[in-house]
Every structure is written in structure tokens, then in C-alpha cells.
Structure 1
Amino acid sequence: MVSNGVRGIGISAHKRAHDLSDFGAELDMIETLGVDSIEIPTFDLDLVVGGKIRRPQLEALLRACRGRDVLYSVHGPLAINFMDEAWRHQRHFEVLKASLEVAAEVGAQHYVMHSGLAPRQQAGGIEAAYDRQREALSRAGDMARQHGLILCVETLFADFKGDGYASSPKRLAQELAMIGHDNVMATLDFSHSYLKLDFDGTREAFVAEIAAIAPHAVHLHMHDSFGRQDDIWMYTEGERLAYGHGDLHLPVGWGDIPWQALMSECTFPSGVVFNIELNQRYWYAAEECVAATKALAGTARTVSREIAA
């Protein structure tokens, strides 16, 4: 564990068998990497069915997770979207409620959910979507508090077709400040942010944008990319790698994210977790990626977070 206010270095697990019968072996393998925490991809483990927890599947997950000397975080369903139209919010909340209960039973501390996405539209429509999201995240923060969880809202990019909208890191930071809820913080995904800003033509503002959200980012998603649009037809994933296109989830150091500048300019909350999200294709470089992430975490600056009573 890093001693400069960083809570730990983690990595996201991958599902093997659909019935989770070998998920324990996945966690065994991850523990050999010497990480402090493991992120559980509950969005893809068949744990919630129609908004309800499937208990036998949850018990299989809990058997795999019990008795390990690691912290846990959980990445919930990616489809939960509080910028969505209001009439769909109840369905999103049903899935969120069950997913938070799963995270609590696992013993997670951070629950990762994506920030909102909306169709690209005139400003009034976008601002109305932000209004919906603020109200919903405040309510979701109350739910998270009941389970002893911190809701970590992840930075995103929309798409590369030009018809979607996602928050910039700085705008998401402003929204979280307006919400002002101790249990609603950020997951800073560096590569997602890089892709978002490059698409918008504001790549030069990347470090400043990241510095703006860093004080809210108690959870980090560490993976590399080149921040380039995935706008050319590719035959294989290897070709996407050759071109450096898209959300590649590369080992840290393989892309051109300016990691050293980010560590120099950013201040994170004390207790921040550096969680690696590595494409399974590049798992052969996991040890290299963990070492690079530990080195970066060792240079990170943190500040204590004031928690309201």
C-alpha cells in the first residue's frame, strides 16, 4: 500500500465461466500481482435479473470473494443513465438499488457508475438533462450512504459519431460540487477523458481539465490510449492497436497520456484508489502495468477530504 495518502493499487477482474464457478481462480491470479484492491465487474456477472438480485449467483460471487486480504470496489451496470428521460429513471433506480445491495454484500467501499449520456441537442435540452442527473445522483448518494458506499461517478466520452453528449471532466466536477454530497464523488477515467477532449477539439486542455476534477476523484481508472477517434474501419483489434484508435485499455505507458504532468498538476482526495482497467488481450503485461501504476501512485499528491457529520 502506498503511504502518501493513496489507499491502494487495484485491478479489475474479468469474468471467466458464466456461473462464476472459477471466479475464485481469477481472484487468486490477481492476488499474485501484489495489488491492494480488486474491482468486481458486477455489470457482467448475471447478479441482477429484472431489477432483483439473483441470490444463488450472488452466493457464488461471495464464496469467491470471502477470506481475502484485499479491498473491493464494484463497477455496476454501465446502462444506468441519469441524464436519460425522466420516465425511465425508475427503471434505472431499480437496477441501481439492487446493484448497491450487491456491492455492500461484497464489502466494497467504492461503487463505480457512469456519468450521464444524452443525445446531442440544443443547450436547453442538455441543461435539463443535467438537472435530472443532479437530482438523481443526490438521491442515489443517500442510497449509497445507507450501505456505507461512496458512489463514484465516472468520466466518459460519448461516441465517435457526433450524435451523443458526455460531460467534460471540468463540467462533471462542477456538477459534483453543486450536488455537494459526501457519498457522491468521481471516478476519473483518464483515457475516457482524453478521448472526450480530443473529439471536442480541446485536447490541449487535458491536464487542466483533469486537475479540475482530481479533488473529487477518490477512485481512478488507470489505462492508456492515444485519445484518438475510432473513425476508420478496422478488421482486427490488432489493427486498432496499430493505429492507436479508440478506448484501447492499454497498459499504463503504452499510449501517450502525459502521466507525469498529471501527477505533478493534480491533487487527489486522501484515500484515493488507483484501479487498473486492463483489456484482457494485454493481460500478459499486467505485472508491467501494476509496476508502472505503483510508480505513478508513489508520486501522487493528496489532501484530506472534509466529511460532513
Structure 2
Amino acid sequence: MGSAKIGCKIDEVRVDGSLRALARDLRTFSVMGLDAVEIPPHGLDVIKCGRLDPRRSREVRRILEDFDFTYTLHAPNPLNLMDRTQCELHVEVLRATLEFAECLGASPVVVHCGRYVPEEGFGHVSSAPPSEADCRAMRDQERYWLDKLAGEFPAITIGVENARPYCYYSPYAYGESLRALKAQVEAVGRPNVGITLDIGHAHMSAGHHGWNFLEEVADVAERVRHVHIHDNFGGSVAPTEKQQTHQIPFGRGDNHMPVGWGGIPMKAVLSLLMPAYTGILMMELRSRYFDYIEESKWNLECLLEGLAEPRGGSVPMVFAGA
């Protein structure tokens, strides 16, 4: 079913700036036989106030060079090229991320799609949604900076990631819609700007907005340059709902569970992407599932090869509620 590599992210909260923790988790990933690892510069204190820390970058690079992984990067989560108050700082954070990727020879770099209202502002900014004119201006702003930075770093692919929905606040980001994200990427018009398809986020958005999940994925497949794969049941939550232990019993939340544990029709999704997609299937699991990364890898391999049914807590359903 294709020749995609399988990888896993380094969890930024789990390592929390510790290079010992980074090396420890990389050793574990090596024993598991993973092909690729996604590195969070924000989890390693590589970027400070919009600037790359050269000494810290060298320290991280020395550790990474001890392993035979393909490396990708995930830009800091709050980065928002549509920010209207500190746009220059957000641009500098992304530029520093791209400089770090260049230092490591890492690609793609994952960037969250722009948000009209950032998650950090939920409940603290005006509850009135921005006007359509404001939304257009913010998308224009994001396109401008994506175009400029992609031109500065032509050897690095920038993968703009689709967003998860939130009860009471959606649509807070145009990228809740894969088709809108595709339109934005195509408007940038750079060969090194594409989509990071977060399968879990797309599953939640389809349920929340009443879209056809598989049709959405099929429509953007040709623009996908990177994939985040993890499982959930599709139910959306309010931003104040943080505890996974309270969400999972009700099939709600952005669970980031091991592949095969939720309700996403993974085989159908992969069949839409493969074999044309030959990039990395990056497992993006919450740190609470660290002990099940190898099982998630096995389940994914089985789906790719069609050898067996997934193990674990798989439930044959797709949450259809909003």
C-alpha cells in the first residue's frame, strides 16, 4: 500500500527542555525501529523570543546526529501568521524554526494554519467574530508571509496543518476546512508549501460541521506533503475541557490516541492517500500513550500491508455528533 515511512513526534511537554529526556526517547524510538522523528524546537528551548539560540541548536544537533532518523520539525504551536498585534514576532519565530530545520537538514516543517481568533484568546477577546473583510485581510497576511519565507528557504517544505474545531468558537480558523486550506495553499503558489494533513483534526471537523470526512480528504490528497496520524472518536469539545479522562468515556476531544484505538476509518483514509503519498506518516500521540507507541506502529503497519486487524481498544464506530 505504498512506501511511506512511519515516525513519531517527540512530545514537547514530556521532554520539557531536557536534552537527556530527548536522548532517552530517541533511544527508545530507535529500538522500536521507527523511521522518522518530529522535533519540537519549542520543547527544547532552541528558540528564544523569536531568535534561534546557536549554542542550544548545536547541542540538539549533536544528539540527533547519533541516530539514523529522518527528521521533521513542528513549529511552536501558538505561531499564527494571521496575528494582528504581534505579527512580526510570529514571523521571526517561524523564520527561526526554518533556520533550525536548515541546520538539521530537516523537512517538512509543520506550521499551524492561521487563526482568526487564537485559542489563547478564547474567552479573553471580543466575542464578536471578525468581519469577512477582516478574515480576508488576515488570510492575505498569512499568504504574504508564507510566500516570503518559502522563498527564503526553498529547500524546506512548509506543511500548513489543518485545525481541530471547538464548540462555541468554530469557525475560529479557516483551516478547520480541508478545502479552504487547500485553497490557501494553492493561492500561495509555492512548490515547497503544501498541506500537513492531521487526520484526527479532519475527523473531528467533519463531525462538527457535518462534512463528509473521506470526501474532504480525497479532495486535498494531491496537496498533502506530510501526515499526522492519531485516533479519536470525532466528538468536539469546548476549549475549557482539558482532561482526557473526562472526554474519552464520551467519545469526545482531540485524543491523539494510538492508531486503531478510536473510530477513525483509518484503512479508508490511507487508501485515499496511498500509494501516491510517499512521505512520512507521523504518529502524533499524547505522552500518556508513550508505552503504546510500538503498538500504534504495529497497527499502522498492519493497515498499510493489509496483514491483520488492529490490536488494542479499537471501536468500530465514527462519532457523528457535533
TM-score range, shorter chain: 0.7 to 0.9
- Look up the SS of the partner of 2:226 in the other structure: strand
Opposite residue 99 of structure 1, the aligned amino acid is T
Per mean C-alpha deviation after superposition, the further-off stretch among 219-228 and 44-53 is 44-53
Residues paired across the two proteins, number:
291
Q: Name the CA distance, whole Å, in 1 between partners of 2:242 and 2:20.
A: 33
Counterpart of 1:121 in structure 2 is: 130
**Offset of residue 183 of structure 1:** 0.8
User: Residues of 1 paired with 2:253 and 2:153: CA distance?
Assistant: 32
1:35-87 CA-partner distances (Å, limit 9, x unpaired): 111111112221111111223322221121013211000111122212222x5
| Structure 1 segments unaligned to the other structure (5+ residues) | 300-309
Work out the CA distance in 1 between the residues paired with 2:224 and 2:83.
Answer: 23
TM-score of the superposed pair, with normalisation by structure 2: 0.83
Contact 2:150 2:193 in 1 (8 A): yes
| Bigger mean CA offset, 130-139 vs 264-273 | 264-273
Residue 18 (str. 1) matches residue 17 (str. 2): yes
8 Å CA contact 1:21–1:60 kept in 2: the answer is: no
Q: Deviations over 1:209-232 (max 9, x none)?
A: 111122111210010011112249
Q: Verify: 1:112 aligned to 2:110, yes or no.
A: yes
CA distance in 1: counterparts of 2:281 and 2:98, whole angstroms: 21
Contact 1:185/1:216 (<8 A) preserved = yes
SS in 1 for 2:116: strand
Distance 1:76 1:231, change over 3 A: closer
Matches within 5 A, 1:64-143: 64-85=63-84, 88-119=86-117, 120-143=129-152
Per the alignment, residue 166 of structure 1 pairs with 174
Q: State the partner residue of 1:304.
A: none
Q: Percent identity?
A: 27
Matches within 5 A, 1:1-309: 4-6=2-4, 8-14=5-11, 15-16=14-15, 18-85=17-84, 88-119=86-117, 120-145=129-154, 148-162=155-169, 164-167=172-175, 168-202=177-211, 205-231=212-238, 236-266=243-273, 269-298=276-305
**What secondary structure sits across from 2:153 in the alignment?**
helix
Give the deviation of 1:235 after TM superposition: 8.6
Task: Give the C-alpha shift of residue 298 in structure 1.
Answer: 4.3
Contact 1:241 1:248 in 2 (8 A): yes
Q: CA–CA distance in 2 between the matches of 1:113 and 1:234?
A: 24
Q: Pick which of 223-232 and 131-140 moved more.
A: 223-232
Residues 51 and 200 (structure 1), Cα distance of their counterparts in 2 relative to 1, 3 Å cut: same
Cα distance change on mapping 1:296 and 1:272 into 2, 3 Å = farther
Q: Take 1:175 and 1:134, find their aligned partners in 2: how far apart are those partners?
A: 7
1:233 and 1:153 map into 2 onto residues whose CA distance is 25
Q: Choose between structure 1 and 2: higher strand proportion.
A: 1
Q: Measured at CA, do residues 108 and 234 of structure 1 come closer, stay the same or move farther in structure 2, by a change above 3 Å?
A: closer
Cα deviation digits, residues 264-286 of structure 1 (max 9, x gap): 33457543210000111112221
Quick one: which amino acid aligns to residue 66 of structure 1?
Answer: E
Any conservation in 1 of the 2:3–2:278 contact (CA below 8 Å)? Answer: yes
- Does the CA-based 8 Å contact 1:217-1:268 persist in structure 2? no
Of the structure 1 ranges 36-45 and 11-20, higher mean CA displacement relative to structure 2 is found in 11-20
1:186 aligned counterpart, secondary structure: strand
Is 54-63 or 241-250 further displaced after alignment?
Answer: 54-63
TM-score with structure 1 setting the length: 0.86
Cα distance in 1 for partners of 2:254, 2:269 equals 19
Q: For 1:207 and 1:267, how far apart are their aligned partners in 2?
A: 14
Asked if the contact 2:16/2:43 (under 8 Å) is kept, the reply is no
Equivalent-residue separation in structure 1 for 2:271 and 2:302 (angstroms): 13
What is the CA–CA distance in structure 2 between the aligned matches of 1:236 and 1:90, rounded to whole Å? 34
SS in 2 for 1:10: strand
Change (3 A) 1:185 1:235: closer
